[in-house]
Structure 1
């Protein structure tokens, strides 16, 4: 059998480097990176001086709930709790095909935006596990194009939901990649702690990762993240464990926050902040001033904790907007977490690329390096800062050496009084 021809991605730049480069692709894996014009092989893509980046990574979304906004009714209060109630009503009408169709469409959006690694939480507080079976089918359908991880997510609790532990165990046996929990939603603090213990036990016995919705509430007394971090450190799960949301951090006092930074840094766990959804959901019971209700992103990064940004919801009962764009998430995260220093903006780009890849534990399956899977995105931008500021769409999305998506350049044509018509691309005049 003949080997596939070597291909080349021409005229791209990498973050932190000024010169243009060619990147060779051999058999679906990256080959050499050489000065522009020196790459050998059939043309795969001409980056025209754009930024080549590893694919965007989505560390937290609920694909089983996407595209259900307004079904069976809108979340009138905009609160997390009404969102859960609306979803509980919608869940009764789920079919496998319904889930497959909606999830697959949003994965197409993700891929078009250059997101090729996705972690999706899937509600398993359903005795029939309809959504989970459907999402396992979706995972197999997109394999080789989008890398999809599935989290067994007990939306209505583990200890406080009838047969919750058994359903979580069944989900692990069905073949999920990650075990979830939602300790702040359990009936009592003791139930919340017990739910984490159950989730950790299942994850360790099945050799799975763990990702818990943790402290997604405006309650300064909700402190399950310290429990999760301690279980991860003492049980050896460490960076294979993730605490998502952690919005109660927006209500913690300074003394406890300082202590928590040490606990989390020592544990090695990851944090995922979901700024778009949580800016909308949190503070709904406040007058003024209203809490921001977000992870302490800047402080945790400074303490050495790995933090990533996630979309969380795309047109569902909790967040009615969204186009599955990681650059949009990064932009909102920068504003919400006040990451406006130039180095911080670059860090926000990492929070939807390599920091998010660490959450998914991708290891050497991710990154532009010789021998790794040839998946990348080319952005019509000079730098991560430029890409985020102008919200540039990828010109090329390449998955395992195959061109998956292209976006032609469509500049705005402006006729200004007293001047000839010209294109506007929102760059600074040279």
Structure 2
């Protein structure tokens, strides 16, 4: 007797529908026809069934705080940082946890079960780290969370930032963060990255640095990260988030840099929501696009994935925790509308992100792996992204943790009602 059988599931890159049997939280069989019964059965009705979405870049400590203490009227990264700095002295652990837990539930309802969140360490209390460590423990049955010790104001631009960063790792943060472009000088920016690698080696941690999150074409710290990755034999273990300055680099330098990133096997996270509104605010017109060179890096084999980054905070006032919405947005403003590119966008919120998080071994719908999966209200990846489809079911270790009833649209014309599902048979 199985605990659950999902019938008529459409797996990625598969022609035939399959049944998926689950027992004790693990996938036990994937076959066209499964002998045996189950306590619970779900008919996927030919809809797409995939591993859950991953959100590799989120700021849960700031989530749902938009307008507190004021709105970001300029829409710039710097004003967002100023507002966050004004808010920090009045933060309590209870406020952080309440908003973070609510934002996690939003993401779960939208199919995300793997999250990497940044926790600001530029606070003598280390309140954000303490709060998110508690959230990680309290929500572990619902979602897997990695916490990045993140020096929002700079490791050296903030008094005792280096000591606070190390203390956060001692408290239990999973990943070492940095922000070299926010240091006061180029020299301190390089020192920022060097210290991140020193701590990663000392505490055996992964690395995820906010790097070159600016429109300044002279901000070139990602090359330093790549060199240190190679020097420290940390290929595949290092992530650079944002790298928006790369958009504005001259093409000869960018071509060389991407080759070095490939050699270093670095992971890159682009954040469509924030990058699209925060970057290149000083351009006037014509206005450059505020994102990294996604297509060029993908074409050369770089592991690029998508993060949500902000959900209703000083940097981005909207959002509902939907990775499909992020993929849809990136398709438009990164010029990724080619047929194969749209399908790869789905990889950028699933497999590629799992690789960045270092969880590929336990991720995926395969016999013996944890039964974490989603059933979408879509037949394939293209429609999922186009429609930003609902997750009909979200399963965590073989148990339904979220369920959504899709909306029904009707057109009334000539005295008749017609259901509209926005689907075109291809």
Q: Under a length normalisation based on structure 2, what TM-score does the superposition of the two structures give?
A: 0.98
**Inter-partner Cα distance in structure 2 for 1:38 and 1:379:** 25
* Secondary structure, aligned partner of 2:290: coil
Q: Any idea what the Cα deviations from partners look like across 1:335-361, whole Å, max 9, x if unmatched?
A: 121111111000000000010111100
Query: What is the Cα deviation at residue 233 of structure 1?
Result: 1.3
State the distance in 1 between where 2:184 and 2:238 align: 23
Q: Which moved more, 1:199-208 or 1:34-43?
A: 34-43
Aligned counterparts of 1:110 and 1:76: Cα–Cα separation in 2: 27
Deviation at 1:6, TM superposition (A): 3.3
Task: Kindly provide the CA deviation profile for residues 350-392 of structure 1, in whole angstroms up to 9, marking residues without a partner as x.
Answer: 0000101111000222100011110000002111011111111
Between stretches 356-365 and 266-275, larger displacement belongs to: 356-365
Correspondences of 1:250-399 after superposition (within 5 Å): 250-399=247-396
Structure 1 residue 261: Cα displacement: 1.1
Q: Which residue of 2 aligns with 1:208?
A: 205
Residue segments in structure 1 that go unaligned for 5+ positions in a row: none
Which of residues 152, 170, 175 is equivalent to 2:172?
175
| SS of match in other structure, 1:33 | strand
Q: Which residue of 177, 182, 195 corresponds with 1:185?
A: 182
Deviation digits for residues 234-262 of structure 1, max 9, x if unmatched? Answer: 10122111000000011111100110111
Q: How far apart are the structure 1 equivalents of 2:62 and 2:239?
A: 21
Contact 2:363 2:370 in 1 (8 A): yes
**Residue 218 (1) aligns with residue 199 (2):** no
1:420 counterpart residue number? 416
Taking the aligned partners of 1:146 and 1:190, their CA distance within structure 2 comes to: 39
* SS of equivalent residue, structure 2 residue 116: strand
Deviation at 1:5, TM superposition (A): 4.5
What does residue 400 of structure 2 align with? 403
The 10-residue stretch of structure 1 (358-367 or 321-330) with the greater mean CA deviation from structure 2: 358-367
2:73 maps to 1:76: yes
After superposition, the C-alpha distances for 1:276-335 in whole angstroms (9 at most, x for unaligned) are 111100111111111112110000011111000111100000000000000000000111
8 Å CA contact retained: 2:169, 2:176: yes
2:33 & 2:367 partners in 1: Cα distance?
Answer: 17
| Cα distance in 1 for residues equivalent to 2:330 and 2:352 | 14
Are positions 1:113 and 2:110 aligned together? yes
**C-alpha distance in 1, partners of 2:419/2:34?**
28
> What SS is found at the alignment partner of 1:133?
helix
Q: CA deviation at 1:41?
A: 2.1
Deviation at 1:411, TM superposition (A): 1.9
- Structure 2 residue runs without a partner (length 5+): none
Give the equivalent residue in structure 2 for 1:66. Answer: 63
Distance in 2 (CA, whole Å) between partners of 1:96 and 1:182 is: 24
Secondary structure of 1:70 counterpart? coil
C-alpha change, 1:221 and 1:426, in structure 2 (3 Å) is same
1:197 aligns with 2:174: no
Q: Is the 8 A contact 2:21 2:34 kept in 1?
A: no
Shift of 1:182: 0.2
**CA distance change for structure 1 residues 38 and 332 in 2, over 3 Å: closer, same or farther?**
farther
Q: TM (normalized to structure 1)?
A: 0.97
Tell me the alpha carbon deviations over residues 148-202 of structure 1, each in whole angstroms, 9 at most, x when there is no partner: 0000000000022110110011001000110100000000010000000111111
